[in-house]
Amino acid sequence: MREGPTIGVLALQGDVREHLAALTAAGARAVTVRRERELAQVDGLVLPGGESTTIDRLLRTFELREPLRERIAAGLPVYGSCAGMVLLAERVLDGDQDQRTLGGLDVTVRRNAFGRQVASWEEDLPVEGVTGGGPDVRAVFIRAPWVEEAGEGVRVLARVGSGPAAGRIVAVRSGDLLATSFHPEITGDDRVHRYFAGLVRDRVQERVRAERRG
């Protein structure tokens, strides 16, 4: 059996363990990333849910912000869930005054758009590229962002279907960057992680082919 790609989970704050388990179930070799040397060894990276302002501060403390920005710019596949979506966004509404993002994803995101934690929302949603003809994904929104505006190169994968947030964009992809407002890692459904692992695997295979040609 072919070994899966090595996918890191940024392990500074947030629901790290759940993402590690989902990636392992999806066939990836899942590892934690806290240091630059660990970042250098992964084929893809997950930015987990948590508190985006706290993760931003810790990225600077652990001297990971600039190395990670450089790897994203160089084409590292990254999946951001909830706070991870905020970190990937080029523009953030309702963020803290000194909050900075990693960027790379041409979207405007509204932080904590679904309201406080007591206003958490759940809905079954079709997600392009993930559900196909199968059952919808159970989307759990916890103090979640949504995408206010997506750039021309960004593909919308899912929107909220009902309730006061109906029509809001909650899953997007641009090249090798994937982001969801919701938390698939806590539902026991690993299809979003399989989708991302497949994306990472494709990039690894492309790199191997290029190295052989070179």
Tell me if residue 149 is catalytic. Answer: no
Q: Which domains, from first to last, does the chain contain?
A: 6-213 (3.40.50.880)
1 pLDDT band (50/70/90 cuts)?
very low
* Token pair 């299809």 in the structure block, residue: 191
Which one from 183, 193, 206, 211 is the annotated catalytic residue? 183
Name the DSSP letter for residue 190: -
Q: Integer distance in angstroms from the first to the last C-alpha of the chain?
A: 27
Q: Which residues contact 66 (CB under 8 A, 6 or more apart)?
A: none
E strands, the chain, are 6-10, 29-33, 44-47, 78-81, 89-93, 105-110, 121-125, 137-141, 146-150, 155-159, 169-174, 177-180
Residue 214 has pLDDT above 90, yes or no: no
* Tokens 């698939």, located at residue: 184
The confidence band for 161, taking pLDDT boundaries of 50, 70 and 90, is very high
Confidence tier at 118 by pLDDT (50, 70, 90): very low
Is the distance from CB of 47 to CB of 15 less than 8 angstroms?
no
Give mean pLDDT, residues 125-154. 94
Torsion sign over Cα 12, 23, 158, 141: negative
32 Cβ contact list (under 8 Å, min separation 6): 8, 9, 11, 16, 20, 38
- Structure-model confidence comparison of residues 163 and 144, the more confident one: 144
Which is catalytic among the residues 185, 193, 206, 211?
A: 185
36 is catalytic: no
Q: Catalytic: which of 18, 19, 82, 193?
A: 82
What is the rounded average pLDDT for all residues in the chain? 92
pLDDT value of position 212: 85
Report d(CA 4, CA 200) in Å as an integer.
9
Measured in degrees and rounded to the nearest 5, phi and psi for residue 147 equal -90, 115
- 77: helix, coil or strand? coil
pLDDT in tens, 53-95: 999 999 999 999 999 999 999 999 999 999 999 999 999 998 7
Question: What are 183-195's pLDDT values in tens digits?
Answer: 999 999 999 999 9
Report how far residue 20's alpha carbon sits from residue 94's, in angstroms, rounded to the nearest whole number: 30
pLDDT digits (tens, 9 = 90+) for 34-53: 999 999 999 999 999 989 99
Query: In this predicted structure, what is the pLDDT of residue 119?
Result: 55
* 211 catalytic residue (yes or no): no
